[in-house]
Structure formats: structure tokens, C-alpha cells
Amino acid sequence: MQLNSSLTQLERLPLTTDPPTPEPIPEEGEVEREPLEAPRSNQSAIALTNEVNNYCAAAQRVNSLSAQKSEELRQVLLTHRQERQLVILQDFPDPDALSSAWAYQLIAQQYDIKCEIIYAGALSHQENIALVKLTGLPAQRCPLQNLKSKDWSSYQGFVLIDNQGTTSQLVPVVQEAGIPLIAVIDHHSLQGDLKSEFVDVRPGVRATATILTQYLQTGLLPLDSSINQHVKCATALMHGLRSDTNLLMQAKEEDFLAAAYLSRFYDAQLLSAILQATRSKRVMDVIERSLKNRIVQNNFSIAGVGYLRYDDRDAIPQAADFLVTEENVHTAVVYGIVHDEDDELEVVIGSLRTTKLTLDPDEFIKEAFGQDSSGRFFGGGRTSAGGFEIPMGFLSGGNENSAYAKMKWEVFDAQIKQKLLRLVNPRDNPIQPE
């Protein structure tokens, strides 16, 4: 992205929480201070001035983009005063999605817009469950079968946050009900033409929580540390931002600036309570299976973990997080068949984690698995992480017979490995017997 390249030259300069001012403003109470004008040659003074100017220009561009987007969003919200909206998250929402949706809900409230935050799958990661419980985050599970009886007439719009509709089973149903798409706010690569009133998709930003924090900061809803709900939402946003940036290690300037703003409001003790959630035995079992089943080729670690329950679905990204820490491994892919016992629903779910800077998870997954018959990709990604979902259609369910279940897994396992290995070992033909 253009913005990023202009920002890289600034990395040597110290980061500040406030937009830089061209003139240094003397601060009160500073007694001893080095004289500002240290002797220096004219040339280096000019170089420094240029650097400061570049820095200001880049920071202004970042600020003006977020200010412009905030203003655009404000106009859209104004035209939808007193309406009801659905905020739809990916089926298995993460802290970035959950916290960003909450911030949107609080912003929309200023315009008398009532939002319901919904997702179709489950909160499977213990940290996500802790986040929702401890902060009172208002997201609700809305399984597909409940939708049939839902009265859609009371909603005037829906909003997608931290996704673009490709990772939610709810979106096609809501579209079919004729509810218009009002806003898309996301940091994943653009997934196609979005017919939405407001679009803010910025793949250069590491977390959707950063974008929402910028909205708060530019005045859509200034946080107030005496309001309990604001403190909790700031804590959730801090958690979202940290978890999407690998604990800020992959954060960029904008993310740090957003975290700096949140640092004035968030509750550090509450955040540490959220982070202390432990792994369940079943998650540990899936990680164990991924270790046992992994094959390592060309620094890729690939593991199929067989069947797992819907509620344990998040064990897959956790296993991928773990496998990528092995020496000589830069990329891990873990997948399994997730089944919902209630409606015999089965879907292959996979996660990719990489530390290789030149590997784009979005491209890799799209190239490996391609598209379905309606042109929809099976997955995508962002920096360092990606995921995929492959519906099993007619082959779904019917696992009373364990030999059949085993055979079905083996076919899917072999097919996925084959598709991945084609990219991992481009010169070998994995189909050929030895």
C-alpha cells in the first residue's frame, strides 16, 4: 500500500500519541532542558527538517483518511437515525471482531440506532468466552435454524465488521430477506465488489479494532473513563488489537497510536483476567493430534486432526499457532472436520499461520483451494494468518458407521494434503506413487 511505503522511512523517528506539531511547543514545568538548537551543520539541519516534514505529511495522510472515513460514517449514520441494524460477525468471531462490533454498537447508539451483534457459529476459544463474560460484551449466538422463524421486518439494515460476508452463514439469509447492507468495516483483503452504503476496508491496518478506535478518537464517540461501559469496551478493543497483531509485534504505527489512545481508558487488570483463561482438555487433545499427525515438508507443517465438535472448533487455529513454533517451520496448516451433532452438519475447517514475510496467506489459500461453483473462494486471510471452510454438502453426516466416517475423513485428508502439497513442492507431483 502506498501509505505503508511512505511510513517505513519514519521508523527511526520516535512515536508520539498525538499528531506531531510542526513547531515545538514549550511545556510548563520542564526545568532542565537541553537547548533545542544544538550546533549542527546546515546540511544535517535541512535533512532533519525534511525528515520531520515527511513524518508530518505521512501522519497527516493517515489522520486525514481516518477523519474522512469517520465523517463519511457519521453522514451514513445520520440518514439511518432510529433504525434497527444487525451487526453480523464471522461464524466463529475473534476478539478483534467482537470488540469492534461493540464499539460500532456504541457509536450507532449516539444516532438512536439499535444494533444486535450476531454470529452463527460458536465462541469456542476460552479467551473469547472470557472476553464476552467478563466485559458483558453484547454479542449473541444466532444459529441458522433459528433464523427461519425470525421476523426480519424490524431491521432496516445490516453491517459487516472484521469480515466481508464470506465467512458468515448468516449473510445469504439476511440478503435473501431483502435487508440492505449499510456498512462494511474490515482489514482483510478486498473479497469482491461490495454493494454497501459505507465501505472502509483497509488491508494495511493490522486490526479492525484500530479502525474503530480511530472513529472513537476522531470524535464519533469520545471515550470517558468515568463510564464503566467505555472502560470495558476500551479493554475489549485493546485485547482485539493485541490478538490480531501477535501481541503488538506486528503492529504498525497506526495500531500503536490506537493502542496509545486506548491505554488511557482500558482496565489492565480486567485484560489480564481475560488472558488467564486456560485451555480445555479437549483443546489439548486436538493439539496433541496435530503434533502426532503433522508432516513437515519444505518448512511447511501440515496436520489433519480428524473430527471435532463444533464447540471445539477454535482448537484448530490454536494448534496451528503451536505448530508454527517448531524449529525450521515457517508455515503451519491444521484442518479437521467440524460436526454439529444437532443437525448433522459437517464442514472442513482449517487454519494457516505463517512467520514467512513473503507468504501471503490470502493468496496461498485461494490458490490452494480455488473457488466453489458459484465463484466463492473457500477462504482467505490477512497478514500472517488465514483460514478456510469447505462445506461437505451431500457427504455431510451419516457417521453411525465408524468405518464409513474413517473412510470419509481419509478422502478429505488426502484431497486437502494434495492441494496444499502442490504449492509446497511445486516440482513434485504428489499424486504419483513412489
Which residues form the interface with Mn ion (CB under 5 A)? 96, 162, 208, 244
In the bound state with Mn ion, the residue whose beta carbon lies nearer, of 58 and 170, is 170
List the grid coordinates of 183. Answer: 456498512
Minimum CB separation of residue 395 from Mn ion in Å reads: 31
Pairing of strands 385-391, 345-354: antiparallel
| CB neighbourhood size of 383 (10 A) | 22
Minimum CB separation of residue 207 from Mn ion in Å reads: 5
Cell numbers 439499535: residue = 114
In the bound state with Mn ion, the residue whose beta carbon lies nearer, of 96 and 340, is 96
Minimum CB separation of residue 179 from Mn ion in Å reads: 24
In the bound state with Mn ion, the residue whose beta carbon lies nearer, of 191 and 208, is 208
In the bound state with Mn ion, the residue whose beta carbon lies nearer, of 127 and 162, is 162
In the bound state with Mn ion, the residue whose beta carbon lies nearer, of 331 and 383, is 383
In the bound state with Mn ion, the residue whose beta carbon lies nearer, of 96 and 413, is 96
Cell numbers 461464524: residue = 91
Judge contact between 193 and 217, C-beta under 8 A.
no
Minimum CB separation of residue 188 from Mn ion in Å reads: 7
In whole angstroms, what is the distance from residue 159 CA to residue 181 CA? 6
In the bound state with Mn ion, the residue whose beta carbon lies nearer, of 187 and 339, is 187
In the bound state with Mn ion, the residue whose beta carbon lies nearer, of 208 and 331, is 208
Cα distances (Å, whole numbers) of residue 137 to 41, 67, 96, 102, 106? 57, 27, 12, 7, 11
Cell numbers 502442490: residue = 422
Judge contact between 378 and 365, C-beta under 8 A.
yes
Minimum CB separation of residue 313 from Mn ion in Å reads: 17
Minimum CB separation of residue 183 from Mn ion in Å reads: 16
List the grid coordinates of 323. Answer: 505448530
Q: How many residues can be counted in the chain? A: 434
Helix (H, G, I), strand (E, B) or coil at 345: strand
Beginning with the edge strand found earlier in the chain, give each strand of the sheet holding 331-340 in spatial order: 295-297, 300-309, 331-340, 345-354, 385-391, 379-382
In whole angstroms, what is the distance from residue 298 CA to residue 421 CA? 10
The residue at minimum Cβ distance from Mn ion is 96
List the grid coordinates of 168. Answer: 458468515
In whole angstroms, what is the distance from residue 269 CA to residue 256 CA? 20
- Strand segments, DSSP code E, in 311-364 are 331-340, 345-354
Minimum CB separation of residue 208 from Mn ion in Å reads: 5
Minimum CB separation of residue 202 from Mn ion in Å reads: 11
In the bound state with Mn ion, the residue whose beta carbon lies nearer, of 205 and 390, is 205
Minimum CB separation of residue 91 from Mn ion in Å reads: 14
Helix (H, G, I), strand (E, B) or coil at 114: strand
| One-character DSSP codes across 237-270 | HHHHHHHHTTTTTT--HHHHHHHHHHTTT--HHH
